[in-house]
A and B are shown apart, each in its own frame.
Chain A
């Protein structure tokens, strides 16, 4: 419990730091956001009026404090470009992105774990080399290119999945997210496979694995029950740290596959100079990264009793 409390406190501190950074970064960007949104022909009076409306005329510490309290209350501000509450806009676009990342992770684990086990069981043999080559190749391909290839193959040639757009209903959502999620998953497979492989090789050398075999437990049981749980933990940590990379990938993928998610919202908002929304998306991405790290740590504490002893 002490461990959990400590980790949660750390996460809150990091979050606070993140909010502060986001606040100042947007103030460092050259140009006047109000002018940018209103366009060059807006009168000085209008600009001044909007500035006051947004509180941009107040001193910096006061703006910061207001920003902080607004966030705590869940108020992300109003988008000038969309003339709507940012939280409302974001709420509509969030689900597809979250589903996309989760679905992509699912593919990465579904494909990566068996390959990692296979590679670890016979390291430096043909299968291991082929797996390494293939997964590295997939990782090396630019996301948009891999997305197009998959869309061409499974969407146009085979016609299994829609190439573009977002359907409704659970089946429709899953169908339309399959190709982007597969793209995401495939580019991640190498990370899952490589970390799992090296950790599994180490774990399989350990004496408790030999001891488990010496008791006549089946090889399957030895690997799945005794080795995998110990080897999975570093993989878990790495997966949680690449969440940031995944969020970046969704930006591209949502463009390619025309998914109305937070990633495409970000692109649109940047093009519209919609600072309120950009700020909210950035904040949310950071929040997701922090939450992922925290949950990986907590999961690790559940999986390995020794972690709970760490001070």
Chain B
């Protein structure tokens, strides 16, 4: 049994009579210790999906359909008490913006100690000591002094390290990382990814890495799930998807990643047709049709089921992929897009 199974998840906004669907029929699973990437543009529903796993979809958004099962327990049916225990022990989350994910009015050590006191039942003194140890373990130099700092006194990389200390304090079995390096510069980005990699190996922790950056996903993940317009368009082992993308969206997304080898002569092929769709009423057919270079008449009638079933590499496009030029894996971490 998988550690986490998300099945036909739907997240809606707006009035119940005429809802706007932001995430629709999303399903995937994560095995124990596995790292799965969730990639898509802004507004593709990837962040919402990761928040849904913690039941952190906030009003006016709501989960209206589907199930999320963690280790045999249904997250959507948990009582407030169970949900708190689940968040406190089984799963950790780090956020995109380390500048706003720490409470500005408390010292970082005190915030960490509070969590330890409440969740692990430590005494004040023990919590303070453990907080310093945790800060030390995520590579914060001079941890005893740094614990006394306020968030605004730390650099972005430091704050993200603090967030990682928070998220991994309880040794969770699953870590949700929502664009953990997007707000950081390239050097810090690499350090944070290395730290996440180490943490996961040391603690045999599964991870859902949400990113819009294929470079980050390629470096970190075993498998990747590609989202567009609130739907999953393709999923598979990272190399399979990379080397032979089957959905036209994945193909254009990969083609838009800049490559060092191509140099100045190379031109990035951009996704045609402007903007990704806004959350709206559920439409018939494939959500990518308006921007797809290979769209045809039948596209407005396809069901977007991931095919073939029970395969590791699935696509929501029922048509045979046209030939693609082989795409080398990018050497840089984090595209300069």
Centre residue among A207, A212, A216, A230 by max chain B CB count within 10 A: A216
- Tell me the A244-300 residues at the B interface (CB within 8 Å): none
Contacts of A218 in B (CB 8 A): 84, 118
A212–B105 alpha-carbon span in the complex (Å): 13
- A309 to B152 CA separation, bound complex (whole angstroms): 10
Q: Does B102 lie within 8 Å of A208, measured CB to CB?
A: yes
* CB contact between A216 and one of B102, B104, B119 (< 8 Å): that residue: B119
How far is it, in angstroms, between the C-alpha of A226 and the C-alpha of B118 when the chains are bound? 14
* Most chain A CB within a 10 A radius of its CB, from B58, B89, B97, B103: B103
A216 touches B103 (CB 8 A): no
- Verify if A210 is at the interface (C-beta below 8 Å from B): yes
Does the CB pair A215–B95 fall under 8 Å? Answer: no
- Report if B85 contacts A (CB, 8 A): yes
B104 engages A230 (CB within 8 Å): yes
Residue of B nearest to A308 (CB): B150
Interface positions of B from 72 to 124, Cβ below 8 Å from A: 80, 84-89, 92-93, 95-97, 100-105, 114-115, 118-119
Q: Are B119 and A210 in contact (CB under 8 A)?
A: no
- Alpha-carbon distance between A53 and B30 when the two chains are bound, in angstroms: 93
- The answer on a CB contact under 8 Å between B87 and A208 is no
- In Å, the complex CA distance between A276 and B84 comes to 65
- Give residues 209-259 of B contacting A (CB, 8 Å): none
In the complex, which of the residues A122, A211, A213, A309 has the most CB atoms of chain B within 10 Å of its own CB atom? Answer: A211
Chain B, residue nearest A219 (CB): B80
Q: How large is the interface on A (under 10, 10 to 19, 20 to 34, 35 or more residues)?
A: 20 to 34
CB-CB under 8 A for A207 and B101, given A215-B88, A216-B88? yes
Cβ of B288 under 8 Å from chain A = no
Q: Which of A214, A217, A219 is in CB contact (< 8 Å) with B118?
A: A217
B118 → chain A closest CB, angstroms: 6
* B149-164 near A? 1/0 per residue, CB < 8 Å: 0101000000000010
Distance from A150 Cβ to chain B, minimum over Cβ atoms (Å): 37
Is the CB–CB distance between A211 and B152 below 8 Å? no
Identify B103's interface contact among A205, A213, A219, A230, CB under 8 A: A230
Q: In the complex, what's the smallest C-beta–C-beta distance from B317 to chain A, in angstroms?
A: 34
A10: Cβ under 8 A from any B Cβ: no
Which residues of chain A are near B306, meaning CB under 8 Å? Answer: none
Min CB distance B168 to A, Å, is 11
A207 touches B87 (CB 8 A): no
> In the complex, which residues of chain A have a beta carbon less than 8 angstroms from the beta carbon of B88?
215-216
Known interface pairs A207-B100, A230-B105, A305-B105; A216-B150 also in contact (CB < 8 Å): no
A225 to B105, CA, bound (A): 10
Q: Is A206 an interface residue (CB 8 A)?
A: yes
B54 within 8 A of partner (CB): yes
* Binary B-proximity of A217-231 (CB < 8 A = 1, otherwise 0): 111010001100110
Q: Is the CB of A216 within 8 A of B86?
A: yes
- In the complex, chain B residues whose CB is within 8 Å of the CB of A130: none
Given A214-B54, A306-B104: A207 and B115 interface contact (C-beta under 8 Å): no
Q: Is B166 an interface residue (CB 8 A)?
A: yes
Q: Please, how many angstroms separate the alpha-carbon atoms of A254 and B58 in the complex?
A: 48
List A residues at the B interface (Cβ < 8 Å).
Answer: 122, 205-208, 210-219, 221, 225-226, 229-230, 303-306, 309
